[in-house]
Amino acid sequence: MNNFTVLAKKEFVQMVREFKVIWLPLVFIFLGLTQPVVSYYLPSILKALGGGQGITIDPSMAAQKGGEVLASTLGSQFDQLGVMIIIVSMMGVVQSDKANGMLAFILTRPVTVGSYISGKVISNYLFVACSVVLGYLVSYLYVILLFTRVDFVDLLVALLFYLMWILFIVSFTTMISTIFNSQGIIALISIVFLLGCRIVVGLSPVLDNVNPASMSKHAMEVLILGTVNTDVIWSVISTIVLSALTILVTNIWISKKKFNNE
What's the length of the chain?
A: 262
89 touches other proteins by CB under 8 A: yes
Which of 6, 13, 16, 26: binder of other proteins (CB under 8 A)? 26
Question: What CA–CA distance (Å, rounded) separates 40 from 29?
Answer: 17
Question: What CA–CA distance (Å, rounded) separates 52 from 44?
Answer: 11
Taking the least distance from each CB to other proteins, the nearer of 157 and 169 is: 169
Kind and range of the H or E run holding 197: helix 183-200
Using alpha carbons, list the distances in angstroms from residue 99 to 96, 110, 113, 180, 224: 5, 21, 17, 11, 45
Which of 6, 16, 22, 102: binder of other proteins (CB under 8 A)? 22
234 touches other proteins by CB under 8 A: no
The contact pattern for other proteins, residues 141-180, with x = CB under 8 A and - = no contact, is -x--xx----------------------------------
Question: What CA–CA distance (Å, rounded) separates 156 from 7?
Answer: 30
Question: What CA–CA distance (Å, rounded) separates 214 from 74?
Answer: 12
30 touches other proteins by CB under 8 A: yes
253 touches other proteins by CB under 8 A: no
Footprint on this chain of other proteins (rule: CB under 8 A): 18-20, 22-23, 26-27, 29-30, 33-34, 37, 40-41, 50-53, 85, 88-89, 92, 96, 142, 145-146, 183
